[in-house]
């Protein structure tokens, strides 16, 4: 099935999304630097950009930069006065991300902060709320990321959690994988929180079998 999923993704991408030399170079830079191949697919990047436009977001928080591929997709969709703050724990990933952000010419719209995500979020202090928050970092810490995301939200803030299906392992409550258990707790916390209205979708494609949660902070 993976071959078919990839073929369908490639068809949709070639039909709907124009080729982009900068984004292609970003992926090549990431691969050459040996970064994990965890970047979103192009159609998923476009989906993130559409979320930015549909919510009319001006302030975005991204938890987990990797090589800044998804960061660039979202930053490009921001209005001229928009800004995205992105957090990356790995210094090698952060350096490649900075190079890619410079390549895309988005230094004014993207602020990359290097360090452990939970500690950085704790150090934010009193800042304006974000309009959109994308959680795509180490899954064992997803519950903590959600707690901080809610603290830096307002009514109407959209919170997206990526990679929550884990090849179907998300339903295995006996899993020894701390990433699976982190995602399960994240989903349960999302469903139990009266401040959130949420759903989740499974996806298949070039990235295999996975999915994402989508939530909005209630009034």
Q: What is the CATH number of the domain that holds 95?
A: 3.40.50.150
User: What count of other Cβ atoms lies within 10 Å of the Cβ of residue 96?
Assistant: 23
- Domain ranges, residue 154: 2-217
pTM (2 decimals)?
0.97
pLDDT tens, residue by residue, 124-177: 989 999 999 999 999 999 999 999 999 999 999 999 999 999 999 999 999 999
Which residues of the chain, if any, have pLDDT below 50? none
Predicted confidence at residue 96, as pLDDT, reads 98
Q: What is the pLDDT of residue 219?
A: 87
How many residues are recorded in the chain? 219
Q: Into how many domains does the chain fold?
A: 1
């Amino acid at each position: 099935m993976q071959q078919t999923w990839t073929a369908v993704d490639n068809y949709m991408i070639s039909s709907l999304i124009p080729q982009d030399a900068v984004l292609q170079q970003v992926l090549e830079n990431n691969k050459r630097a040996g970064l994990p191949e965890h970047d979103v697919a192009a159609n998923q990047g476009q989906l993130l950009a559409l979320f930015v436009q549909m919510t009319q977001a001006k302030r975005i928080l991204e938890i987990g930069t990797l090589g800044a591929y998804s960061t660039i997709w979202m930053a490009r969709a921001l209005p001229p006065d928009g800004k995205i703050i992105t957090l990356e724990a790995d210094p090698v990933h952060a350096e490649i991300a900075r190079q890619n952000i410079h390549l895309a010419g988005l230094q004014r719209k993207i602020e990359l902060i290097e360090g452990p995500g939970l500690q950085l979020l704790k150090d934010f202090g009193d800042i304006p709320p974000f309009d959109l928050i994308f959680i795509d970092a180490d899954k064992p810490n997803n519950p903590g990321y959600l707690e901080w995301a809610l603290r830096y939200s307002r009514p109407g803030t959209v919170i997206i959690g990526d990679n929550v299906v884990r090849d179907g392992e998300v339903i295995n409550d006996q899993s020894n994988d701390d990433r699976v258990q982190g995602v399960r707790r994240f989903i349960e916390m999302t469903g139990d929180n009266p401040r959130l209205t949420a759903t989740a979708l499974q996806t298949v494609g070039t990235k295999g079998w996975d999915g994402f949660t989508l939530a909005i902070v209630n009034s």
